[in-house]
Amino acid sequence: QVQLVESGGGLVQAGGSLRLSCAASGRIFSNYAMGWFRQAPGKEREFVARIEWSGGTSTSYADSVKGRFTISRDNAKNTVILQMNSLKPEDTAVYYCARWRSVVAGTLPPSYWGQGTQVTVSS
């Protein structure tokens, strides 16, 4: 079983930055795809970013965060980072770390989820 624990959420002003971390533990396969989703109250959970290792590292982002958010991995510490810059009030949500059970996510849903961390961006 894999456990994912997020940290780094909080309250920031619009235009500010925040760094989220996801630490994985349990039965870890380091090359499996990982990513971030978010969910605002009354909204559907939406994809934010994903990182995959298949023939090299690849990343993908939702259009709404492209150019502002960066996903990366610290292999030595088995953590995934979401660096969020130029934050907007629309980014306010609970952010969830996710892990797939394949090296490429494709159309599959994540197999594991963290419990979420709150990000609030004030105007």
Comparing CA positions, the residue from 83, 84, 106 lying closest to residue 32 is 106
Q: With bands split at pLDDT 50, 70 and 90, how would you rate the model's confidence at 51? A: very high
Sequence-distant (≥ 6) Cβ neighbours of residue 120 within 8 angstroms? 10, 11, 12, 92
Phi (first) and psi of residue 98, to 5 degrees: -140, 150
pLDDT in tens, 68-99: 999 998 876 689 999 999 999 999 999 999 99
Who's near 25: CB < 8 A, 6+ residues apart?
A: 2, 3, 5, 78
Residue 22 has pLDDT above 80, yes or no: yes
